Structure 1
Amino acid sequence: MEPLTTAVTSAKANLPADAPGSTAPRRRGRPSRPVLSREGITAGALAVIARAGYEGFTMAALARELKTAPSALYNHVASKDEVLNWVQDDVNETIDVSGFGRDPWDLALMRWAHSYRDAFAEHSPLIPVIAVLPITGAPHTLAMYERVAEGLRSGGWPEDMVIDTIVAVESFVLGSAMDVSAPEWIFNVGDRRDLAPTFADAVAARRGSGRTAADDAFALGLNALVAGLRATLAAAQAARH
């Protein structure tokens, strides 16, 4: 008869490496859960914000979205602000800056503005956060601004006016992006036409035109803004020569 100790040793040797009671070394390889990455965390954050808004975006909510523990999440990202920085960079990477360095500055600026508005119209809950978020640590955002700044400077804009020009355009673009998600009836005066009869007539005329309010307002505003910038640049160049 086989000794008991020999039988036990033989039985353990035949157990799977991860079975209880096994003394064999565990197998190495890919973990059963996917490893968290910057791209995955960013996508998860966008999903949470789209569903719950910025107010509902917490690191705990993000961890639930990614099906992981908050402690595991903090092994990959330092804070909520860092996640938002990644989100900003992810959205800004999609913005078209190809016109700068190729087209006249005003045409490139309009192309950029249209693309910028489209990008953030899809992520309007982010706008109040992104508008005041520092760009440090966001390489795609920095690359975007560098391309725009180079295009404006090569187009004749004085260096000390480049940032103000960018901010002026961004302020209009981000407001227009939020307008895309506004309801069509936002200017309905209801039963108080007596307080704003002229405005009510204008709203009715606009509604009856069959045009898309947000798109038309954006086109009108952008054309006016760029026309004003052209005039501003001409005056600045005349004053400095």
Structure 2
Amino acid sequence: MKAAKAKAGRRRAGRPPLALLGPAQITRAALKLVSRDGYKALTMSKLAKSLNVAPSALYNHVRSKQELLRLVEDSLMARVDVSAFLDQPWDQAVSKWAHSYRDVFSSHLPLIPVIALLPVTNAPQTLLMYEAVTEGFLRAGWRSARIIDAIVALESFIFGSAYDVNAPSDIFAPGELGATAPAFSSAVAHRSNAGQLNDADAAFSLGLAALIAGLATTLV
């Protein structure tokens, strides 16, 4: 009797039953696949293989690659911290949101060109993120007509800065051609950042502060 119960309690080898699949598991597998092999590797067949299921089983949960991308987008946007918009001054809230946003996407570079162009239609977590940001702008006195343009301006800077986090430390080294660009080479050699920040963080902090200050003037 005990042997029979033990045997019944063990899952059979092979593909897992369909019930084990769900949006969270599929999203994690998709992010892992992209991180390891790049966005071009994210196909429904390869994703199904990584989950050890038949493609038909995967299609029972996500009907298309577009729907899969919405799951991925929602997963990443849910990680962006928007809590500061609840109780902090607008400029500080934008700064904390932007830093969190950059940190999330600097760990998922292959997805930036995709997510940046992906409509937010029917993506609940993504819409909640934007709702929190928009409410924060409204509380700070922004007119609705200007908010989306401001968010796009900030996102453009954030996505570019996410790439810079992953740039090699010698990206601006002129090499043997330093003499052909003496002013630039000197600026590179004398680059220094206060507060023990690395180059990427220092550049981001400088640019973000300037962008926030510039946006703030539009409220005057």
| TM-score (norm. length: structure 1) | 0.81
Any idea what the Cα deviations from partners look like across 1:3-32, whole Å, max 9, x if unmatched?
A: xxxxxxxxxxxxx9xxxxxxxxxx9xx886
Distance (Å, rounded) in 1 between the aligned partners of 2:104 and 2:203: 17
- Which of 198, 209, 212 is matched with 1:226 structurally? 212
**Structure with the larger helix share:** 2
User: Contact between 2:77 and 2:125, CA under 8 Å: does it hold in 1?
Assistant: yes
Instruction: Give secondary structure in 2 for the equivalent of 1:99.
Output: helix
Give matches, 1:141-160, under 5 Å: 141-160=126-145
State whether structure 2 residue 117 is matched by structure 1 residue 127. Answer: no
**Mean alpha-carbon deviation: is it higher for 101-110 or for 159-168?**
101-110
1:206 and 2:206 are equivalent in the alignment: no
User: How far did 1:138 drift?
Assistant: 1.2
Higher gyration radius (CA): 1
2:171 aligns with: 186
Find the counterpart in structure 1 of residue 181 from structure 2: 196
* Offset of residue 120 of structure 1: 0.8
| 1:211–1:102 CA distance, 2 compared to 1 (3 A) | closer
User: Partner residue of 2:79?
Assistant: 94
The residue aligned with 1:62 is: 47
Q: Which runs of no fewer than 5 residues in structure 1 stay unpaired?
A: 1-15, 17-26, 235-241
1: distance between equivalents of 2:193 and 2:28? 40
Amino acid at match of 1:80: K
Residue 66 of structure 2 aligns with which residue?
81
**Amino acid paired to 2:183:** T
In the alignment, does 2:43 pair up with 1:49? no
Match of 1:164 in 2: 149
TM-score, structure 2 as length reference: 0.88
Q: CA deviation at 1:79?
A: 1.2
Paired with 1:98 and 1:77, the residues of 2 have a C-alpha distance of 30
Q: Which runs of 5+ in 2 are unaligned?
A: none
Change (3 A) 1:31 1:61: same
Per the alignment, residue 71 of structure 1 pairs with 56
SS of match in other structure, 2:186: helix
RMSD: 2.1
> Structure with the greater relative contact order (CA < 8 A, sep ≥ 6): 1 or 2?
2
Name the stretch that deviates more: 132-141 or 200-209.
Answer: 200-209
CA apart distance, 1:194: 2.7
Q: In structure 2, what is the Cα distance between the partners aligned to 1:194 and 1:71? A: 61
Amino acid corresponding to residue 114 of structure 1 in structure 2 = H
Deviation, structure 1 residue 208: 9.3
> Separation in 2 of the partners of 1:142 and 1:161?
18
Compute the displacement of 1:200 (Å): 1.1
Kept after mapping to 1: 8 A contact 2:193/2:202: no
Look up the SS of the partner of 1:141 in the other structure: helix
Paired positions, count:
208
Deviation of 1:102 (Å): 1.1
Q: Distance in 1 between matches of 2:43 and 2:75?
A: 19
Offset of residue 211 of structure 1: 4.5
SS in 1 for 2:141: coil
Identify the match of residue 91 of structure 2 among 99, 106, 114.
Answer: 106
Could you tell me how far 1:137 is from its partner in structure 2?
2.0
